[in-house]
Amino acid sequence: MRFVLGLVGLTLLIGIAAPYLDAGAFRGSIQNALEQTLGRKIEIGQVRFTLFTGPGFTLERVTVQEDPRYGLEPFAFIPTLEVRVRLDKLLLGQIRPLGLRMVDASLNLTKSDDGTWNAVALVERLGAPRRTPFNFFPAVEISNGRVDFQLGTRKSTFYLTDTDLSIYPESSGKIYFKFEGSPARTDRAGNGFGHLTGTANWYLKPAAASGNQLEADVNLEPSNLSELSTLFQGHDLGVHGNISGHVVISGPFASLHALGDMRLDDVHRWDLMPSPGDTLRVRFRSQIDLEKHTLDLATLPLSSDNKSAADNPLMLQFKANNFMTHPSWSVLASMHKAPLPALLPLGRRMGMALPAGLQMDGALDGVIGFSNLTGLEGGVVITNAVANIPNVPPLRSASASVTISGSKIHIDPAILQSDTGGTLRAGGDFDLANQNLTAEINADQFSIAAFKQTTNAWFGSPHALSLMSDGKLSGSFGVNFPPAGPVWSGQGQFNNVTMEVPGVGLPVRGLQGKFTMDEETFDLPHLSGLIGDSSFTASYRYAVSAKHPEHLHLQMQAADLSALESDLAPTISDQGLLSRLPFARRSIPAWLASRSMEGELDIAQCSVNQMPIGPLSTHFVWQGTSVQLAELKLKLPSGKLQGSGTIALSARLPRYRLNMKVDGYPWSGGLLKLAGTVDTSGMGLVALQHMEASGDFSGVGLTFSPGDPLTNITGRFSFAFNGTTPLLKLTKVQARQGDEDWVGEGGSSNDGKVLLDLANGERQVHLAADLMPGGNTP
């Protein structure tokens, strides 16, 4: 026991001290042995003994030169090389390497012009003694190394980093590999893209010419999908998520067969949030040619029972050429009656502009491909599609064709049916690069309400139609939907439409007409409908660049001003709960504050409280809470009225100020002319009671009693109401009767008479006439 313990202690002591002992005396022997083993010149720095990992030696700053057949660049630079040797030979003074362990090494794997690899020639030199059936220790190990690939004189962009590799030669000629590492690119910084682990058997002497040269079992640990796309493409393709997989490879180097599966999780576009829980599983087979650097991969059914294409709605194929030098690769997706509900979540996560809550039924048939050289290409047909969006009538399409070229997606016009009646024909283009959508829509007797609901769900409805409801719509529309928002254009017609116009108390009913619109204008050249019981025709134009963007020309066959005033109550008076309080100020609605309109109003038969007063026309300019009236004309039953004025809408009740001229108005057997101003406020009888008028008057042939008609009369007047009693005051009156001139003044009396007190020198006369003939209100 003492002997055993002493031996163990001595061994531990030697093992601890060995790394501190200089083994420079063995440098030449070690160098010769390694050069014979590797077939290459070796340069060695410091040499030390090692026991626990050996017995053997630890070499520092080792450079392994290259075989001249493969170039002049060193095969490997190894900061630390641990050499395990045969103890029996070492005791006899001989160096016989059993294993090499390279720490933090950098290696160049080079393929010569004749197609051979330097690593193949090197590995073939490694072999176990024939009398030893198995090797329990690797002949070569690489720890945390970097492996570069070189084809002739050109170094590949791809390399392996963080590489751990163990090589176990067997006497049968098979070499067993155990490896892990991360592929990377020299033109991208980082610690690698994805992580691979696995094992492999390399048969140096296959049993048959067509036998397996390589058998491998490889695992892709969960990795970022964007990192793998960067590995192949050189930059992030904008698709993020997680990918993992497993593959079994076998066959000769020129025709390797692979069978495996992949798992994709949380696939989404880079600027969108992932959807945890969404997983796509894919089985695949592959053909790999390591001599020509080609790869051909195709998906397989998840179940081996599915044999036909009809059982596999989605098939993927991946091809890569020259993947070691200038990789060109493509992905091809073939769909056969692929269900839309299953593909819709993926389309949403890839950033397609889909409405919130959209659910779709239907199937896809076609082929879509992506190449790193040409981008997206392909086409699909969507059949028996049904689109359901909350609070939107369902849309159905028997067939729709989609073609893809580069970043452009083109949808051929397709007929869409709705439960509301009528049809839509829609198509368009979508640019994946800038997320710009251009659509063309044709409507045929389609419900306006359903049209607005549908378009608003997909890309926003036209603002020009926002006030319309009910009714039918026919026409063609175009919408350009950049990220800033939709821009509409189009032309068509509508009928039996109801419109809620801001400021009009009653809806406009039975509206029909034609329209054109674009980014700058909205034009309704021919419009007709009903406001209350009054019919009208009109033209309307909205132009963004005009001084007054809105222009309205309104024509009515008959209208009562009292009824119109009531209809326009939301515009001309405050409708709030506090509007009746004397101290309350009017709250100006946004639509009124922003109004900028110019237009004309023509009423063929105008009346007030059912009393006809004649045709009325005016030109107006409406700016916010101010309405300017110009060229106001009223053709009275006898005589005419002309003038201009303003309507102020900023207070609780409207305020009117009019400059008016009345010509040829019949009164008291003669004709009157009036010119002056009228001020009032309020609505209806209130406005009449608040009315104040003043100005100049003149008349001819007026008859007062007693006396003969006055040849002519002039003067000034003022008029107001005291409650319901009219008050008229006449001043600076000058009258002529025959050859006599009279001056004086006058006014109204409580009994409804107009009294004139005239004087001619010392002569005086008192004349009277009815203010309101027949007692009627003017």
pLDDT at 506: 77
Query: Among residues 773, 766, 573, which one has the least CA distance to residue 683?
Result: 573
Do the domain assignments include residue 734? yes
Q: Round to whole Å and give the CA distance between 692 and 657.
A: 10
Could you give the CA distance from residue 366 to residue 334 in angstroms, rounded to a whole number? 6
CA 316 – CA 333 distance, rounded (Å): 5
Alpha-carbon distance 629 to 634, whole Å?
Answer: 13
The amino acid at residue 555 is Q
Cβ neighbours, 10 Å, residue 67:
16
DSSP bridge pairs for 399: 383
Q: Is there a domain that residue 123 lies in?
A: yes
Which residues are paired to 329 by β-bridges? 320
Angle in degrees, CA 190, 196, 201, rounded to 5: 140
| 31-51 pLDDT tens trace | 888 888 888 898 988 888 776
Total of domains in the chain:
2
Mean pLDDT over 625-644 rounds to: 90
Tokens of 676: 């002056």
How high is the pLDDT of residue 38?
Answer: 82
- Whether 358 is in a domain gets the answer no
- 90-99, 322-331, 480-489: which is most confident: 480-489
- Residue 42: inside a domain: yes
pTM of the complete model = 0.63
Q: How many CB atoms lie within 10 A of CB 773?
A: 12
Return the HEC string of 96-126.
CEEEEEEECCEEEEEECCCCCEHHHHHHHHC
Reduced to 3 states (helix: H, G, I; strand: E, B; else coil), residue 405 is strand
In sequence order, what E strands does 482-623 have? Answer: 487-499, 508-517, 521-531, 534-543, 550-560, 596-608, 611-623
pLDDT at site 126: 61
As a whole-number percent, the residues of the chain with pLDDT over 70 amount to: 83
**Structural domain contains residue 442:** no
User: Are 256 and 250 a contacting pair, CB within 8 Å?
Assistant: yes
* Dist. CA 592–CA 292, nearest whole Å: 76
Q: State phi, psi for 66 to the nearest 5 degrees.
A: -95, 150
Closest CA to 455 of 432, 484, 424: 424
- pLDDT for 262 equals 82
Pick the last residue of a domain from 144, 179, 205: 205
Q: Is residue 125 situated within a structural domain?
A: yes
Q: How are beta strands 174-185 and 611-623 bridged, if at all?
A: unpaired
Q: What is the DSSP letter of 132?
A: -
β 655-667/436-447 pair status: unpaired
Give me 716's structure tokens.
């000034």
Residue at a domain's end among 179, 205, 231: 205
For residue 387, the Cα-to-chain-centroid distance in whole angstroms is: 19
CA distance 747 to 728: 5
SS3 341: helix
Do residues 528 and 504 lie in contact, with contact meaning Cβ atoms separated by under 8 Å? no
Better-scored residue on pLDDT, 313 or 51: 313
- Indicate whether 677 belongs to any domain: yes
- Quick: pLDDT tens for 558-598: 988 888 888 787 777 665 554 555 545 677 888 888 999 99
Whole domain around residue 42: which residue ranges?
Answer: 22-205
Assigned domain for 9 exists: no
Of 143, 174, 205, which residue sits at a domain end?
205
Mean pLDDT of the chain: 81
